[in-house]
Structure 1
Amino acid sequence: MSTEREQDVTSGAGLSRRRVVLEAIRLADQEGIEGLSMRRLAGALDAGAMSLYHYVKSRDELLDAMIDLVFEEIELPPADTDWQTAMRRRSESARQVLARHRWAIGLMDSRTSPGPAHLRHREAVTACLRRAGFPVLMTTHATWLLDSYVYGFALQEASLPFDSAHELANMVEDVYLPQLPPDQFPYLNESAAALVAADYDPADQFAFGLELVLAALDPLRADA
């Protein structure tokens, strides 16, 4: 999908709402959301700043549209499988999408004018849980819990100073351990040594935590 979007942005075709929003997403992916302005976006599109207001009336409307396209990338929970598998696939997809669009993590649920992709996503998640037997209010609880876990993990992952098990091992040995005298921090030394020996990859934590969340929710279904 990202390749198709890049082609849309660089095709050289005239401006359109979708092209404006795609370019805004590209800029946010590269530079963060803080510096995104209509003037900056217009410059990237080689257009006049006022011309963009024909497609998006304000920066808030632009953010709404950007978040809607982010939701469009997240896989909807499939209807032809059990609820845990469906929510697992949806959650893993959301994590991957947020890794590509880290600026979006804090905005996913902040918009008061959700777009069509956002609403389709919410309807599909709610339908999945309701069909699995979760009562209405428990469906809301489950959705909040799952989203909190996915967004929280994505936020923590985005802030880590390493990207792989190899980089983590190097940091543990070269940076962390010298700061941990064994006589003062015996358990942290023990943990650090175990992580290095196990070739520990922090990315594996997502699946571990998600399984715990899904297992804890299952008994709360009305028909469990």
Structure 2
Amino acid sequence: MKHQPDARPAARARVARNTVSEDLVVDAALRLLDAQDFEQISMRALAAELGVGTMTVYTYFRSKDELLQAVRNRVLGGFHPPTATGEWYERVAACCLSLYEWLIERPAVLRVLFACPPTEGDFAATATTALELILFELRRAGLDRLDSARGYATLLQYTFGAALRQLYAGDATEKAGHVRARLDALSPELHPTIVDLASELARTHENSTEQYVFGLDLIVTGLRVKAGASRENE
């Protein structure tokens, strides 16, 4: 369910053109993206958000794509892994959880990352610090080169996928209620196990972070086992 603004915001007072900057335009785009999909964002809507004429926005960005790339660069540089202690797998899990929470904190982040067309050099900007931290820990744990790369890819795919699911899931309590209603409508003769676990299945929709942490633990546990086997085979 996509978030719909409760009401159209009041028109902003117009401001002098020389008070606008690239940073302010990007800030305004992020505010709009927090509330709606990027397809709904236009240079005209952005100008209205800033209280300036549309041509003022074009002074700083020649097109919507150019603007969204600037927004993308801003959000990609906004994640910084936490300083974590403990075993290697605890540090990896802490980094992934922090990334997940960062992604779901502002809808604009995911909308920009998944909506904007990639450009040359995006890889270097995409949470490179997290990439270095996770790969370093996986290698130090004993995983070989390919398994380390695949382990990182699995962790990131799961993290981004879970965050994207949360973005479009809507209200958690409402979602859990809908899931429970659909499960209760199933035939216990045809689907006895599903019906028996209906309450537990509905609960997986009640708290997205709790569900994410459960899956993250499964992945990290598998990596621990694989790392242990690699050390034994050395």
Fold match (TM-score > 0.5)? yes
Change in 2 beyond 3 A, CA 1:19/1:103: same
Q: Are the aligned partners of 2:72 and 2:113 in contact in 1 as well (CA < 8 Å)?
A: no
Q: Residue 150 of structure 1: CA displacement?
A: 0.7
Which of 112, 122, 139 is 1:114 aligned to? 122
Q: CA RMSD of the aligned region, Å?
A: 3.4
Change in 2 beyond 3 A, CA 1:105/1:195: same
Q: Are the aligned partners of 1:16 and 1:55 in contact in 2 as well (CA < 8 Å)?
A: yes
What SS does the corresponding residue of 2:24 show, helix, strand or coil?
Answer: helix
Structure 2 residue aligned with 1:145: 154
Q: 1:180-215: per-residue Cα shift (whole Å, max 9, x none)?
A: 12223222211114456x797342210011112122
Which of 158, 171, 177 is 1:170 aligned to? 177
Structure 1 residue aligned with 2:9: none
Structure 2 residue aligned with 1:210: 216
Which of 52, 56, 74 is 2:57 aligned to? 52
Change in 2 beyond 3 A, CA 1:95/1:104: farther
Q: Are the aligned partners of 1:88 and 1:210 in contact in 2 as well (CA < 8 Å)?
A: yes
Structure 1 residue aligned with 2:45: 40
2:79 is equivalent to residue 71 of structure 1: no
Change in 2 beyond 3 A, CA 1:172/1:80: closer
Letter in 1 for 2:219: V
Change in 2 beyond 3 A, CA 1:145/1:176: same
CA distance in 2, matches of 1:109, 1:127: 26
Structure 1 residue aligned with 2:186: 180
Q: 1:29-88: per-residue Cα shift (whole Å, max 9, x none)?
A: 112111112222112112222222333333223222222332344332537664433332
Change in 2 beyond 3 A, CA 1:83/1:34: farther
Structure 1 residue aligned with 2:165: 156
Equivalent positions of 1:16-35 (< 5 A) are 16-35=21-40
CA distance in 2, matches of 1:103, 1:97: 13
Structure 2 residue aligned with 1:5: none
Change in 2 beyond 3 A, CA 1:54/1:141: farther
Which of 86, 93, 97 is 1:92 aligned to? 97
Q: Are the aligned partners of 2:81 and 2:129 in contact in 1 as well (CA < 8 Å)?
A: no
CA distance in 2, matches of 1:15, 1:115: 30
Q: Are the aligned partners of 1:177 and 1:189 in contact in 2 as well (CA < 8 Å)?
A: yes
Q: Are the aligned partners of 2:169 and 2:175 in contact in 1 as well (CA < 8 Å)?
A: no
Q: Are the aligned partners of 1:74 and 1:90 in contact in 2 as well (CA < 8 Å)?
A: no
Q: Can you give the 5+ residue segments of structure 1 that lack an aligned partner in the other structure?
A: 1-9
CA distance in 1, matches of 2:25, 2:120: 21
Matched residues, number = 208
Q: Residue 123 of structure 1: CA displacement?
A: 3.9
Change in 2 beyond 3 A, CA 1:14/1:132: same
Q: Are the aligned partners of 2:26 and 2:67 in contact in 1 as well (CA < 8 Å)?
A: yes
Bigger shift: residues 139-148 or 32-41: 139-148
